[in-house]
């Protein structure tokens, strides 16, 4: 246990000092506290301090000069014109992400840049680690999809360090609420949620459930559009008809809640889903319960992914110009690197949604007329 406690102490000290360096508390060239000073202030042994400093030196964050002391290095300094671009997304290999990355890659490689890709799994802890690593690399810019973008940013100091090092960055598919002054490319997700819900209302649906993601920008905006369409049609908003889920329970909660609502006889003639992946899961669950789609319940998706066009039931959804979004992000980052002012930007920041109607929704107007 003693050995484990000792290893935890040096690891924590190493991480704390690294964070201080990356956040700018210690700047390149600054003298670091001595072993004796750190040991005294933190009430730990010099051996623990020496081990932590040794690792930081091996990783290139500090350098020791005999007789002078230990100094913060210039490893994290942005040297400009490295021709390297970092791209951080929540996921990389499935759903809409390959085409988004394809668009980014096409624009930037055509302009002579090399790309390094990282993923967070929509984890804020992993986003912190990715940004810390980027700050130790020589990059000209960053494109990043924020993790859990509806939550308050957990590591603003790292973005402030990017600003300090003059590394431009562009947010895609979401932006932290406290950083909307930064460049970003998003869809008008509020309008997308509105178009889907309005289409259902116009085709005779009155009991419209909604499934939305609580921890990202898209989920909040799509829900807002859903509410706007209901209000416009004079249909009371029912919070019991809305299922909120998070990244951690996305594989279980939407299906579990729709199962519960169906078993309890909750009135539903349509479900507006957060995206195509969730829509297909809901269709599978409803069909397993003996409910016919769309005869009994209509279902909509979002993103117009490949999933929306597969199978007998093809999803009514919102077109997501995946590759185009990536291209726009690449162009916007190039403008930032070139120092083009935002007011002179040629890149549209908000993408207009387009409704795509397929056979996952039924026109119920005749049924309403008969009633």
Q: Render 131-196 in DSSP notation, one character per residue.
A: HHHHTTS--SEEEE--TTTTSPPS-HHHHHHHHHTT--EEEES---GGGTTS-EEEE-HHHHHHHH
Helix-helix angle 189-202:217-232, to 10 degrees: 40
84-182+322-350 has CATH 3.40.50.2300 classification: yes
pLDDT tens by residue, the chain, 371 residues: 344 454 688 999 998 998 888 777 888 888 999 999 999 999 999 999 999 999 998 877 888 888 889 998 865 455 557 899 999 999 988 888 999 999 999 999 999 999 999 999 999 999 999 998 888 788 999 999 999 999 999 999 899 889 888 899 999 999 999 999 999 999 999 999 999 999 999 999 999 999 999 999 999 999 999 999 999 999 999 999 999 999 999 999 999 999 999 999 999 999 999 999 999 999 999 999 999 999 999 999 999 999 999 889 999 999 999 999 999 999 999 999 999 988 889 999 999 999 999 999 999 987 655 55
CA distance 211 to 222: 10
DSSP letter at 247 equals G
Which tokens belong to 162? 């990017």
Element (H, E) at 217: helix 217-232
Architecture of domain 2-72: Orthogonal Bundle (1.10)
- pLDDT of the residue at 166: 86
- pLDDT of the residue at 304: 95
- pLDDT of the residue at 2: 43
CA distance 158 to 76: 12
CA distance 149 to 122: 9
pTM, whole model, 2 decimals?
0.81
- Strands 355-356, 317-318: parallel, antiparallel or unpaired by DSSP? antiparallel
Which tokens belong to 256? 């579990």
Count the residues in the chain.
Answer: 371
Q: What is the gyration radius of the CA atoms in the chain, in angstroms?
A: 25
User: Cα 333–337–343 angle (5° rounding)?
Assistant: 75
CA distance 217 to 215: 7
- pLDDT of the residue at 76: 47
- pLDDT of the residue at 222: 98
Q: How far is CA 274 from the centre of its chain?
A: 14
Domain 189-319+355-370 sits in CATH at 3.40.50.2300
- pLDDT of the residue at 133: 86
The CATH 1.10.10.10 portion of the chain extends over 2-72
Calculate the CA dihedral of residues 216, 219, 224, 226 and round it to 10 degrees.
Answer: 180
CA distance 286 to 135: 47
CA distance 218 to 290: 31
Is 145 in contact with 171 (CB distance < 8 Å)? yes
- pLDDT of the residue at 93: 81
The CATH 3.40.50.2300 portion of the chain extends over 84-182+322-350, 189-319+355-370
- pLDDT of the residue at 367: 61
CA distance 366 to 371: 9
Q: Which three-class secondary structure state does DSSP give residue 93?
A: coil
Which tokens belong to 252? 């279980």
């Amino acid at each position: 246990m003693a050995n484990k406690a000792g290893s935890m102490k040096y690891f924590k000290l190493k991480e704390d000092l690294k964070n201080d360096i990356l956040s700018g508390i210690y700047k390149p060239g600054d003298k670091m506290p001595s072993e004796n000073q750190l040991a005294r202030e933190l009430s730990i042994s010099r051996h623990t301090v020496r081990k932590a400093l040794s690792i930081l030196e091996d990783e290139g964050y500090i350098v020791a000069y005999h007789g002078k002391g230990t100094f913060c290095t210039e490893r994290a300094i942005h040297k400009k014109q490295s021709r390297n671009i970092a791209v951080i997304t929540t996921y990389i290999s499935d759903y809409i992400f390959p085409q988004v990355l394809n668009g980014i890659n096409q624009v930037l490689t055509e302009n002579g840049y090399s790309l390094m890709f990282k993923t967070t799994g929509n984890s804020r802890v992993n986003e912190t680690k990715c940004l810390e690593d980027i700050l130790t690399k020589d990059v000209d810019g960053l494109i990043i999809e924020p993790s859990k973008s509806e939550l308050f940013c957990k590591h603003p100091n790292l973005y402030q360090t990017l600003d300090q090092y003059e590394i431009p960055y562009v947010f895609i598919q979401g932006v932290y609420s406290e950083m909307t002054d930064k460049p970003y490319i998003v869809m008008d997700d509020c309008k997308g949620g509105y178009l889907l819900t309005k289409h259902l209302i116009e085709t005779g649906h009155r009991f419209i459930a909604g499934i939305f993601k609580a921890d990202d920008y898209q989920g909040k905006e799509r829900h807002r559009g859903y509410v706007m369409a209901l209000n416009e049609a004079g249909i009371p908003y029912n919070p019991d008809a809305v299922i909120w889920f998070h990244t951690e329970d996305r594989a279980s909660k939407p299906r579990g809640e729709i199962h519960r609502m169906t078993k309890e006889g909750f009135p539903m003639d349509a479900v507006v889903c957060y995206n195509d992946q969730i829509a297909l899961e809901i269709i599978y669950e409803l069909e397993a319960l003996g409910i016919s789609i769309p005869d009994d319940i209509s279902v909509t998706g979002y993103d117009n992914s490949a999933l929306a066009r597969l199978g007998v039931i093809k999803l009514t959804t919102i077109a997501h110009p995946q590759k185009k979004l990536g291209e726009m992000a690449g162009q916007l980052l190039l403008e930032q690197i070139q120092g083009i002012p935002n007011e002179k930007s040629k890149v549209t920041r908000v993408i207009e949604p387009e409704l795509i109607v397929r056979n996952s929704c039924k026109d119920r107007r005749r049924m309403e007329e008969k009633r």
